[in-house]
Amino acid sequence: MKIKALKGVQDILPETIGQWDFLVSCSKNLFSVYGYQEIKIPLIEETNLFIRSIGEQTDIVEKEMYTFIDKGNRKISLRPEATASVVRAYLEHNLNQQGLAKLFYIGPMFRGEKPQSGRNRQFYQLGVEVLGSYSAYLDAEVIILAAEYIKKLGLKNFTLLINTVGCTEDKLNYSKLLKTYLEDKKDSLCENCNNRLGRNVLRILDCKRPSCKKIVNEAPQITNHLCEDCTDHFNDVKNALDEIKINYTVDPYLVRGLDYYTKTVFEIAHKDLGAQNAICAGGRYDNLIKDLGGPQEGATGFAFGIERLLLAITAEKTDLSIKKQPTIYAIGLGSVAQKKIFQIVQTLRSKNIRLTTSFEEKSLKAQMKQANKLNCEYTLILGDDELEKDSIMLRDMQTGEQELITINNLTTNLNKRLSSL
Ligand code: HAM
């Protein structure tokens, strides 16, 4: 029996790596323009970190974490997200010493969710966190950064949804109000929503069932029940976005599946992705630094899901203009030629020329076929005739033209041809 990859985890194959690297390098360039520095955080953390940050009664913590007891009897979890770890690192390494900390990260996260298109158990996030400020401008800045990034990828079919969930007090008051409203309609809500009613009522706003959605659409809106400070903050964020002419829609029922959010929350939905259409999500979390043992400081951030971005790029047939690096296929016919081609290949590679070869005792025809399959721009062919003349045959795979080149001139000749591609 062959062993297959686990359900919900994906191999990223070489054919996708060009797009993947483009997404990553584009994010690194843009994020650094906005003053972010990269941080690499561990894949594993004490389970408690996630319980204290994401929230004990969230789906992630209740049902989805990969948790185990290690040999030292410690409870460890694979990270389901990165914000908690970034805050832990910020506090552990006193990253607040230089004022505002602006950090970005790229890496895999793990959640034991039911797999479907765009929902994996191991998925990659690319995100930013700004720690140490309450400014509404920073909320706007991270939202603008997310929108700019998507535009840089050439994506168009997306919508930016924003909302506020208020401060802790606002959240509590609104939860009570919502609960009172929903209690009456309990019988029409799905089982999941009924479960959430007593424990995490805000999550009912997230239910995708049409019958629940209908009830939610008439529920009280948090934006009408905010304290003055949270109302002002939300207005400031919207005004800052308006100044830069960023298109957004206020979705008064937008809530997030992680408990740490306060005030601004946002989501970027892609129109072609079906049920799992959030390509990016984020928001402010003004209590998390304190909840994890630090001072009372504000923070905000977001994360993109890389697999979902790739799905969006495929759906929109976006041309990322990824330039293929030219490759040459080297063929040695017979054992003497093979020995010589082995040396030639090494010399050329030391001059940064990209070559591949199979070293198989196969016919010229079979090897040419292989070069074609690999999309090589040129082949180098060394047989007895060429060996005798201290030369090698160079074939242009596109035109079929061939030229006999002396081995001494090979590097110069190839560099000239490759630079003109
Ligand atoms: P999140 O909404 O849980 O937020 O995830 C952010 C993004 O990760 C989602 O919008 C989606 O693109 C991707 N994602 C989440 N779960 C999966 C999955 N099972 N399969 C594929 N992609 C997925 C957070 O994780 C927050 N830490 C974001 C944040 C940063 N908030 C403030 N700072």
Q: Average pLDDT in the 314-336 region?
A: 90
In the sheet that holds 264-270, the strands lie side by side as 37-38, 101-110, 122-131, 299-305, 278-284, 264-270, 158-164, 249-250
pLDDT over 70 for what percent of the chain? 100
Report the pLDDT value the prediction gives residue 219, as an integer from 0 to 100. Answer: 94
Q: Average pLDDT in the 349-371 region?
A: 92
Strand, helix or coil for residue 289: helix
pLDDT of residue 303 exceeding 90, the answer is: yes
Report the pLDDT value the prediction gives residue 208, as an integer from 0 to 100. Answer: 85
Contact 151, 159 (CB under 8 A): no
Report the pLDDT value the prediction gives residue 199, as an integer from 0 to 100. Answer: 84
Report the pLDDT value the prediction gives residue 281, as an integer from 0 to 100. Answer: 98
Minimal-distance CA residue to ligand 1 atom 17: 119
Q: How many Å apart are CA 248 and CA 68, to the nearest integer? A: 42
Report the pocket of ligand 1 as residue ranges, CB < 6 Å: 81-83, 111, 113, 118-120, 123, 125, 127, 129, 257-258, 278-283, 301-305, 307-308
Long-range pairs of 70-75 with CB within 8 A, sequence gap ≥ 24 = 74/46, 75/46, 75/47, 75/48
Closest ligand 1 atom to 129 CA: 33
The amino acid at residue 362 is K
Q: How many Å apart are CA 77 and CA 63, to the nearest integer? A: 12
pLDDT of residue 277 exceeding 90, the answer is: yes
How many CA atoms within 13 Å lie on the side-chain side of 32? 7
- The pLDDT tens digits for 209-255 are 899 999 999 999 999 999 999 999 999 999 999 999 999 999 999 99
The strand pairing partners of 283, in sequence order, are 265, 301
Residue 294 structure tokens: 């630090």
Instruction: Please state the pTM of the whole predicted model.
Output: 0.92
pLDDT of residue 26 exceeding 90, the answer is: yes
pLDDT of residue 275 exceeding 90, the answer is: no
Between the CA of 259 and the centroid of ligand 1 the distance, in Å, is 13
Minimal-distance CA residue to ligand 1 atom 23: 305
Minimal-distance CA residue to ligand 1 atom 31: 282
Average model confidence (pLDDT) across the chain: 95
pLDDT of residue 322 exceeding 90, the answer is: no
Between the CA of 205 and the centroid of ligand 1 the distance, in Å, is 18
**Chain length of the chain:** 421
Report the pLDDT value the prediction gives residue 319, as an integer from 0 to 100. Answer: 84
pLDDT over 90 for what percent of the chain? 89
Whose tokens are 């805000």? That residue is: 202
Q: Average pLDDT in the 407-411 region?
A: 96
- The pLDDT tens digits for 122-143 are 999 999 999 999 999 999 999 9
Report the pLDDT value the prediction gives residue 216, as an integer from 0 to 100. Answer: 92
Contact 70, 45 (CB under 8 A): no
Out of 123, 262, 286, give the residue to mutate to test ligand 1, the one with the largest number of ligand atoms within 8 Å of its CB.
123
Report the pLDDT value the prediction gives residue 204, as an integer from 0 to 100. Answer: 93
Whose tokens are 């009372």? That residue is: 296
The strand pairing partners of 267, in sequence order, are 161, 281
Q: Which residues contact 58 (CB under 8 A, 6 or more apart)?
A: 200, 203, 257, 258, 259
Phi, psi of 14 (to 5 degrees): -50, -35
- The pLDDT tens digits for 60-114 are 999 999 999 999 999 999 999 999 999 999 999 999 887 899 999 999 999 999 9
Report the pLDDT value the prediction gives residue 359, as an integer from 0 to 100. Answer: 83
How many CA atoms within 13 Å lie on the side-chain side of 63? 5
Contact 293, 312 (CB under 8 A): no
Report the pLDDT value the prediction gives residue 274, as an integer from 0 to 100. Answer: 87
Between the CA of 125 and the centroid of ligand 1 the distance, in Å, is 7
Q: How many Å apart are CA 386 and CA 407, to the nearest integer? A: 10
Between the CA of 408 and the centroid of ligand 1 the distance, in Å, is 56
Report the pLDDT value the prediction gives residue 257, as an integer from 0 to 100. Answer: 86
Between the CA of 306 and the centroid of ligand 1 the distance, in Å, is 10
- The pLDDT tens digits for 386-405 are 999 999 999 999 999 999 99
Q: Average pLDDT in the 312-331 region?
A: 89
Whose tokens are 């905010």? That residue is: 226
321 vs 295 pLDDT, higher one: 295
Closest ligand 1 atom to 279 CA: 12
Between the CA of 401 and the centroid of ligand 1 the distance, in Å, is 52
Between the CA of 281 and the centroid of ligand 1 the distance, in Å, is 6
Out of 123, 125, 256, 284, give the residue to mutate to test ligand 1, the one with the largest number of ligand atoms within 8 Å of its CB.
125
Closest ligand 1 atom to 267 CA: 10
Q: Alpha carbon 408 to chain centroid distance?
A: 47
Report the pLDDT value the prediction gives residue 170, as an integer from 0 to 100. Answer: 96
Q: Average pLDDT in the 17-21 region?
A: 94
Report the pLDDT value the prediction gives residue 99, as an integer from 0 to 100. Answer: 85
Contact 47, 286 (CB under 8 A): no
In the sheet that holds 67-69, the strands lie side by side as 44-46, 75-78, 67-69
Rg (CA), the chain: 28
How far is CA 180 from each of CA 197, 214, 256, rounded to the nearest angstrom? 10, 17, 21
Between the CA of 78 and the centroid of ligand 1 the distance, in Å, is 15
Query: In this structure, what DSSP letter does residue 60 have?
Result: I
* Dihedral sign (CA 403, 404, 409, 410): positive
